[in-house]
Amino acid sequence: MISNYKHIIWDWNGTLFNDVEVCVSIVNSLLSKRNLPILSPEKYKDIFTFPVKDYYVTAGFDFEKESFELVGKEWIAEYERRKYECGLSNSALPLLEKISSMKIDQSILSAYSQHTLVEVVESCGLTKYFSHLVGLDNIYASSKVKLGKELMIKLELNNGEALLIGDTTHDYEVATEIGADCILVASGHQNHKNLEQCGVPVFDSIQELLEKI
């Protein structure tokens, strides 16, 4: 199925980069600090969504008592401190190598901040696989749609010529908005139940996707 596309657009966090455990740990530390109930990994993957402000509210944060911007800065500061505890998703490297061997170009479109995305992808030794690394210019992880549309124009891609691979319903929404097809993996920040509502192929993991191409 991947061989039908000119370009693969990857999400980063939770898709190629396995940071879910660290993210759950960080949000639980923020909740505990506020004497709020912590989240199980299963609960986290059930309520996580974009924009992340909505997910924070569901998790229990009260933005009438403190600002979303304050919580966001606190979260990102801890994530920056711990980001190198994360690693690549299982079989991410073999899958990138496989697609590269098929002479299909690849890019990353992420809600991660641009400068940190470049830094972490480089630290993982993956820069050579991507023609473009596109991240947000702020820390609040809003929407990737505008950047995705700009990327499609830059790549001179028409509808159906790109495949976006991600781990959230927002990735599906982005794919729809920019004219890309979509595949989702349930090993990231949202569970299979939520992802399957998008009506696109959902794989349990990057490993399973590698086995199917």
pLDDT of 60: 98
Weakest-pLDDT range from 69-78, 139-148, 166-175: 139-148
Find out whether 97 and 2 touch, Cβ atoms under 8 Å: no
Task: Tell me the CATH class for 2-18+87-212.
Answer: alpha beta
Bridge partners, 207 (sequence order) = none
Q: Name the residue ranges covered by the structural domains of the chain.
A: 2-18+87-212, 20-85
**Confidence category of residue 29, pLDDT binned at 50, 70, 90:** very high
pLDDT of 213: 87
Q: What is the pTM of this model?
A: 0.94
Q: Where are the beta strands (DSSP E) in the chain?
A: 7-10, 17-18, 87-88, 105-113, 132-136, 162-166, 181-185, 202-203
Quote the CA–CA distance of 184 and 166 in Å, as a whole number.
Answer: 5
Length in residues, the chain: 213
pLDDT 10s digits, 186-206: 999 999 999 999 999 999 999
Mean pLDDT of the chain: 95
Residue 136, token pair as written in the block: 């947000």
pLDDT of 64: 97
pLDDT of 51: 85
Quote the CA–CA distance of 75 and 47 in Å, as a whole number.
Answer: 17
pLDDT 10s digits, 135-160: 987 655 456 898 999 999 999 999 99
